[in-house]
């Protein structure tokens, strides 16, 4: 496997100026400069963001539909589970969302796939386990966008069970 390293040329004067102005290490200042952030306000937002600096989540496709689904699950006291990868951002995403929901009195489980047996991302066996445990809403975090087949499978299980209930 060949990898190509990209080495940025150091803009030492700018790095030093940012390091001193914001009282940060030259390494952090270098990272900021390498990301193309040199405007003082943009640096401040990068280092010390607040909620008003976040993008509007409703700019994401189908966010309104997702929010309505979660609200309905809460109203109907459905059993919910958060599914995330076993890497650091997956576990962090699970923890943040779980804490947020629990602080609002919502009970929610979580599922982290076994890295050796299940690998990254969604998998059908995990979806089956989750369904068998009685969960009716699965919220995925840090699973990327490549799990189309698994999402279709999860929806088919849900739709199949909804049809069986109404018969």
Q: Where are the domains of the chain?
A: 12-53, 57-166
pLDDT tens digits for the chain (167 residues)?
678 887 777 789 999 999 999 999 999 999 999 999 999 999 999 999 998 888 899 999 999 999 999 999 999 999 999 999 888 999 999 999 999 999 999 999 999 988 778 777 788 899 999 999 999 999 999 877 777 888 888 888 876 655 444 33
CATH for the stretch 57-166: 3.90.1640.30
State the Cα–Cα distance between residues 111 and 136, nearest whole angstrom: 14
pTM of the model as a whole:
0.71
Model pLDDT, residue 108: 96
CB 12 within 8 A of CB 29: no
At a CB cut-off of 8 Å and minimum separation 6, what does 15 contact?
26, 29, 30, 33
What's residue 3's pLDDT? 80
């Amino acid at each position: 496997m060949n990898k190509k390293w990209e080495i940025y040329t150091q803009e030492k004067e700018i790095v030093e100026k940012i390091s001193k102005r914001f009282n940060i290490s030259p390494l952090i200042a270098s990272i900021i400069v390498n990301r193309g952030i040199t405007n003082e306000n943009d640096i401040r937002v990068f280092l010390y963001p607040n909620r008003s600096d976040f993008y509007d989540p409703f700019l994401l496709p189908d966010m309104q539909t997702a929010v309505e689904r979660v609200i309905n699950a809460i109203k109907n006291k459905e059993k919910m589970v958060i599914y995330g990868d076993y890497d650091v951002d997956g576990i962090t995403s699970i923890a943040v969302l779980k804490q947020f929901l629990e602080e609002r009195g919502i009970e929610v489980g979580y599922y982290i796939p076994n890295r050796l047996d299940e690998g990254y991302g969604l998998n059908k066996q995990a979806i089956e386990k989750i369904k068998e445990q009685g969960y009716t809403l699965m919220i995925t975090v840090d699973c990327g966008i490549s799990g189309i087949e698994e999402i279709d499978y999860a929806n088919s299980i849900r739709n199949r069970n909804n049809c069986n209930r109404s018969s």
